[in-house]
């Protein structure tokens, strides 16, 4: 199962489990605020080699229609994808 964002954020003492176990893949915050640059994919240039998808430390690049797309909620903007992209289909654009 892929971890995903939940609506309920445990906050009060009643929400905190009294055992050292909790639901797997429970996300309550995004990582998008970490980013100064965002990778942007030019789907015209993308050849679907999946090298960026394979090498992304955060797994935010996913397969879509034979090519790739990015989950910007969790991309930290490290730039590995831009560097590894042979056809140069990914450019890093400054976040405004």
Partner 1 sequence: MAVNAKTLNETEFFYGHKACAGCGGSLAVRIALKVLGENSFAVLPAGCMSAVGFNFPQLCFGNNAIISTFAGTASMLTGVEAGLRAQGITDFHAVGFAGDGGTADIGLQALSGAIDRNDDILYICYDNEAYMNTGIQKSSLTPFGARTTTTPAGKNIHGNLRPKKNMFEIVAAHGIPYAATASVGYLNDFMRKVEKAKSIKGTKYIHILAPCPTGWGIKTNETVEAAKEVVDCGLWYLAEYENGEFTLNHRPKEFSSVESYLKKQSRFRHLTDNDIEIITASRDKKWEYINKNFR
Rounded to a whole number of angstroms, the minimum distance from the CB of residue 14 to partner 1 is: 13
CA-CA distance, 6 to 27, in Å (whole number)? 6
Residue 12 binds partner 1, judged by CB under 8 A:
no
Measured in residues, the chain has a length of 96
Residue 62 binds partner 1, judged by CB under 8 A:
yes
> Which DSSP letter does residue 7 get?
S
Task: Output the DSSP codes for 50-73.
Answer: -HHHHH-TT--EEEETTEEEE-TT
Residue 47 binds partner 1, judged by CB under 8 A:
no
- Cβ closest to partner 1, residue 14 vs residue 57: 57
Rounded to a whole number of angstroms, the minimum distance from the CB of residue 44 to partner 1 is: 21
């Amino acid at each position: 199962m892929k971890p995903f964002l939940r609506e309920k954020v445990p906050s009060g003492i009643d929400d905190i489990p009294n055992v050292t176990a909790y639901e797997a893949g429970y996300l309550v915050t995004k990582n998008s605020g970490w980013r100064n640059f965002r990778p942007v994919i030019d789907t015209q240039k993308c050849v679907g080699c999946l090298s960026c998808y394979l090498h992304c430390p955060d797994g935010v690049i996913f397969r879509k229609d034979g090519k790739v797309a990015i989950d910007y909620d969790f991309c930290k903007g490290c730039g590995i994808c831009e560097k590894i992209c042979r056809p140069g289909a990914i450019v890093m654009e400054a976040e405004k």
